[in-house]
């Protein structure tokens, strides 16, 4: 099996970091500012000394000024809980380059940025059958196992964003990235509302194939729904193609507005873009990475 991401790309990803807008609270030490007070190089506040406190934290300059013992408090650095939800439904298993294959690579790249920073990563794939989660990963050494899991999941089934409500709701406040084409019949709103209620920040990344963004075929055809199998006759003309492009743009605008209303970032991506460009340019432009 070919590697999910090339070693040269992984080295470039190590220079990036997830960009959070607010302090986080994790379970383990990491490289992220926490809501709690701890020990790091960044000063946070003072408080009065009480018996049992570490006397090494006493600020003697403050004692000289105030004639009482004061402790220096510092910003604790903790891990960022990152959750990746990857759509591998039937509609994603289409296009050249294939959307499902690109989604796996994109998720892997974002996950590696987090793992390199000692952030905790939980991967959830929603496709046919039960939503697949699994134990969270942490550290660069966990990347190979996470990449292998990403590549092992088959694509198929009907998109059902309501299946995400429960796994989203059980998360601690942190960051969530949802990768999907947004083309299922079910509405995306239940999942986005769940993200808002779970105090998640992050992004919705709409991934489409170039053949969807700019259809280049004409004449009569029999179209088959990739998820339901329903077929219908269709004649491609400049008028129908224009209507399709307009409807797709409207769907994208709806998803973008819904994401922004809930404080989430949004980007529409094409599988024709190299993963390196998606990460280094687009995800940095929307403020997900820095």
pLDDT, tens digit, 9 for 90 and up, residues 241-253: 888 899 999 999 9
pLDDT, tens digit, 9 for 90 and up, residues 217-229: 778 888 888 787 7
Q: Say if residue 209's pLDDT is above 50.
A: yes
Q: DSSP state, 78? A: E
What residue has token string 């399709």?
Answer: 244
Q: Is the peptide bond before 97 cis (omega within 30 degrees of 0)?
A: yes
pLDDT score at 45: 62
180 near 195, Cβ under 8 Å?
no
Could you tell me which residue, 71 or 205, shows the higher pLDDT? 205
pLDDT score at 59: 83
Q: What percent of the chain has pLDDT over 70?
A: 86
From 76-80, 93-97, 270-274, the region with the lowest mean pLDDT: 76-80
CA distance 242 to 214: 10
**Domains located in the chain, CATH noted:** 7-15+79-285 (3.40.50.410), 31-78 (no CATH)
11 CB-near residues (< 8 Å, 6+ apart): none
User: If we measure between CA atoms, which residue out of 283, 285, 287, 286 comes closest to residue 109?
Assistant: 283
20 CB-near residues (< 8 Å, 6+ apart): 32, 33, 80, 175, 201
pLDDT, tens digit, 9 for 90 and up, residues 116-166: 888 889 999 988 766 677 789 988 889 999 999 999 999 998 888 988 899
pLDDT score at 39: 46
Residue 74's Cβ-count burial label (10 Å; 0-12, 13-18, 19+) is: middle
CA distance 56 to 41: 15
């Amino acid at each position: 099996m070919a590697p999910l991401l090339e070693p040269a790309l992984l080295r470039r990803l190590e220079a990036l970091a997830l960009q959070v807008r607010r302090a986080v609270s994790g379970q383990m030490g990491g490289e992220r500012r926490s809501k709690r007070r701890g020990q790091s190089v960044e000063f946070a506040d003072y408080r009065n000394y009480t018996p049992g406190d570490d006397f090494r934290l006493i600020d003697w300059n403050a004692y000289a000024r105030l004639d009482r013992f004061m402790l220096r408090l510092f910003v604790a650095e903790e891990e960022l809980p990152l959750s990746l939800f990857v759509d591998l439904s039937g509609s994603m298993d289409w296009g050249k380059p294939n959307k499902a294959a690109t989604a796996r690579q994109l998720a892997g790249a974002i996950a590696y940025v987090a793992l390199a920073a000692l952030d905790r990563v939980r991967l959830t794939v929603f496709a046919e059958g039960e939503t697949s989660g699994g134990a969270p990963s942490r550290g660069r050494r966990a990347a190979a196992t996470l990449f292998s899991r990403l590549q092992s999941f088959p694509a198929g089934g009907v998109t059902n964003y309501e299946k995400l409500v429960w796994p989203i709701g059980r998360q601690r406040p942190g960051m969530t990235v949802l990768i999907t084409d947004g083309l299922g019949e079910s509405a995306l709103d239940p999942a986005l509302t769940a993200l808002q209620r779970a105090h998640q920040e992050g992004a919705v990344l709409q991934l489409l194939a170039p053949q969807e963004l700019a259809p280049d075929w004409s004449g009569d055809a029999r179209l088959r729904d990739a998820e339901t199998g329903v077929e219908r006759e269709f004649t491609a003309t400049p008028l129908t193609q224009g209507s399709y492009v307009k409807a797709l743009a409207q769907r994208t605008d709806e998803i973008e507005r819904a994401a922004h209303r809930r404080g989430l970032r949004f980007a529409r991506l094409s599988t024709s873009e190299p993963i390196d460009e998606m990460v280094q340019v687009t995800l940095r432009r929307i403020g997900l990475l820095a």
